[in-house]
Amino acid sequence: MSGVLDIVYAEYNYWIYVTLMMIGFYAMIAKKNLIKKIIGANIFQTAIFLFYISLGEVEGGTAPILVGGHGEHAAEVAHEVIYVNPLPHVLILTAIVVAVSTTAVALALVIRIYQEYGSIEEDVILAARRKLQPEFSEHARLKGGEDE
């Protein structure tokens, strides 16, 4: 039992990451507002980043910047220092930039949808879409049946 609790305590980063990921996932699925959906996607992405950074962490490690890189005893000093793993950092540095570009594209689409339908609420947009094109999808027809 204490072994299980040790794991819960030692890996608390992972518990927080799963919680954040589920909060973001819930927002993406359940929220009707398109901006709220994008906020949820952002939270989801940063949760994944937190997971990767937690993976690269080393107990007692310092930032992955070369210590004692210059001078006479550079090689000896460098062997005594523990660094955290820099590989996940590099991956996440790229992923942050990708996250911003996907957010920008999504927001551009939201602006375009607002110009077209005059709303950023998903159900209003679907209702307007249904009025324009009554049979645009099977799902909308089934939903429309229970609405009206």
Partner 1 sequence: MIWVLDITMLLFLVVCAIAAITIKDLLSAIIILSAYSLIMAIVWVEMQSVDVGFTEAAVGAGITTVLFIATLARTEGRSED
Residues near partner 1, by CB under 8 A: 12-13, 16, 19-20, 23-24, 26-27, 30-33, 35-36, 38-40, 42-43, 46, 49-50, 53-54, 56-57, 61-65, 84, 88-89, 92-93, 96-97, 99-100, 103-104, 107, 110-111, 114, 119-121
Q: Report whether 83 contacts 62 (CB < 8 A).
A: yes
- Comparing CB distances to partner 1, the nearer of 49 and 144 is 49
- Say how far apart CA 4 and CA 115 lie, in whole Å: 54
- Count other C-beta atoms under 10 Å from residue 44's C-beta: 19
> Residue 89: exposed, middle, or buried by beta-carbon count in 10 A (0-12, 13-18, 19+)?
middle
At its nearest, how many Å lie between partner 1 and the CB of residue 57? 6
- Comparing CB distances to partner 1, the nearer of 74 and 105 is 105
